[in-house]
Amino acid sequence: MEAHIERFFTIWSEAGLPPCYLVGGYPRNSLLGLAGTDLDLASPAPPQALCALPAPEIALEERTYGLGTAVVKQRFGDALYVYEYTAFRCDNYGRGGGHKPRNVRFTEDIREDALRRDFTVNALYMGADGTVADPTGRGIAALAGKLIEQVTPETLTQDALRILRMVRFAAELGFTVGRDTWECAKAHINGLADISRERVRDEFVKILMADAKYGGKDGVLRGLHMLKELGALSCIVPALAEGDGMEQNAQYHAYDVLEHSLQACACAPADLVTRLAALLHDIGKPAALRETGKMYGHDQRGAALARSALKDLRFDKGTADEVCALVGAHMFDLDNRAGRKAVVRMIARLGERQFLRLADVREADFCGSGKGNPAPSAGKWRETLRELKEADAPISRRQLAVNGGDVMRELHIPPGKRVGEILSALHAYALKKPSQNSYKNLIRYAKIINTHGNE
């Protein structure tokens, strides 16, 4: 056990409080030999008891949400550790489910606290001496069998978010879901509609990044397949689920539209924007096919559908903008016939980071087709970008030696569209001839195009 945790337990016990336990991720992961989780604590003491802890290195922040919970921050050496504390409690959901407990009762009984938790592997309690208690009596066995099992037969029916957590843990840890738990999840999948979109998004993101947590290789694909089999995708991203069973040209594709999207997502590197773009790149296909009988134009339609799907999941605008730009551009140079000029224009439009993501999406798209065909263009694109960087070309407009203010001042023109047009022309010029990216040269060129036009 790490020194800061031991120190915390010492402070706790010296205050004369009832025994406190690490619960959830920490004991589970340490028994699995895995590192890296946040720290969750529980004991029968109310969170107010933490306020009274005498040590100056412990600070308490009351949580505004949730009953009986607190966040404890501990300064230890130079580091700051964050513990989430919950008092032992018993959640009463009453009959008929719903996703919030009807009432909550605090308890001194560790077994009652264990029964309100989600999965048996998450209901293990590690005390100050490092021993692990298993109040459900099934947690240690589930851990050994790599099984996700709900704590009681009602657990998943009470809060459908737990179904997404189930998939997430199975994907992150490489566990399988117990049969009864799986059947229960499937039977109650409609409950997802009652969960706030933010919470659905947070779990979905964790599933999309499941391999990044502990390095499990096929976690993302397993997680996405579980969501598909449970029927959860039609609640999470309905437009994507429409591609289920939609056949495509067998010359290029081994899978239908939905399966191809899941495969592509799992092929993409562990970057959320790239994964989302790979997942959603063909989201326009079902609508394109329905409305025109063809899949053409699905990139632009897809960008619009991806935007509404991401908005519906309450993704921030920055993430949505980046994902949609990639979805809209994913057909670029598919025939690998774009010349250098077109590639440079795309680099300037997307910027370096996004352009590299586009190359990753292209490769994910082909990897996810299941045909083993090499991805066209991506190598050529990266090579062009490398050359531009070696030549010190201004890839982003901000790297131009002049800005809008310079153009207005030197050319005596007012703010407006014309300034932007001139800057675009200067940018194209400097990308073509990086050696000309100096104030003097660009202003000279700006004066010429301002008088004569730039064609």
- Give the interface with Mg ion as residue ranges (CB under 5 A): 24-25, 38, 40
The least CB distance from residue 224 to ligand ATP, in Å, is 19
In terms of Cα–Cα distance, which of 303, 219, 310 is closest to 266?
219
The least CB distance from residue 326 to ligand ATP, in Å, is 28
Task: Answer for the pair 268, 361: CB distance below 8 angstroms, yes or no.
Answer: yes
The least CB distance from residue 84 to Mg ion, in Å, is 7
Q: Which is nearer to ligand ATP, 25 or 376 (CB)?
A: 25
In terms of Cα–Cα distance, which of 303, 265, 37, 282 is closest to 173?
37
The listed partner (Mg ion, ligand ATP, none) that binds 236, CB under 5 to 8 Å by sort, is none
Choose, by CB under 6 A, the member of 89, 117, 138, 188 that binds ligand ATP: 117
The listed partner (ligand ATP, Mg ion, none) that binds 118, CB under 5 to 8 Å by sort, is ligand ATP
What CA–CA distance (Å, rounded) separates 278 from 281?
5
Handedness of CA 382, 388, 392, 398 (dihedral sign): negative
Looking at 37-45, 58-66, 130-138, 443-451, which segment touches ligand ATP (CB under 6 A)?
A: 37-45
The listed partner (Mg ion, ligand ATP, none) that binds 162, CB under 5 to 8 Å by sort, is ligand ATP
Choose, by CB under 6 A, the member of 43, 74, 120, 122 that binds ligand ATP: 122
Residue 202 engages ligand ATP in binding (rule: CB under 6 A): no
What CA–CA distance (Å, rounded) separates 72 from 217?
34
Residue 191 engages ligand ATP in binding (rule: CB under 6 A): no
In terms of Cα–Cα distance, which of 272, 163, 148, 143 is closest to 211?
272
| Binding pattern for the stretch 150-169 against ligand ATP, x by CB under 6 A and - elsewhere | ---------x-xx-------
Choose, by CB under 6 A, the member of 38, 61, 198, 387 that binds ligand ATP: 38
The listed partner (Mg ion, ligand ATP, none) that binds 161, CB under 5 to 8 Å by sort, is ligand ATP
Q: Which is nearer to ligand ATP, 122 or 261 (CB)?
A: 122
Task: Answer for the pair 62, 87: CB distance below 8 angstroms, yes or no.
Answer: no
The least CB distance from residue 206 to ligand ATP, in Å, is 7
* Site for ligand ATP, rule CB under 6 A: 24-25, 37-38, 40, 117-118, 122-123, 159, 161-162
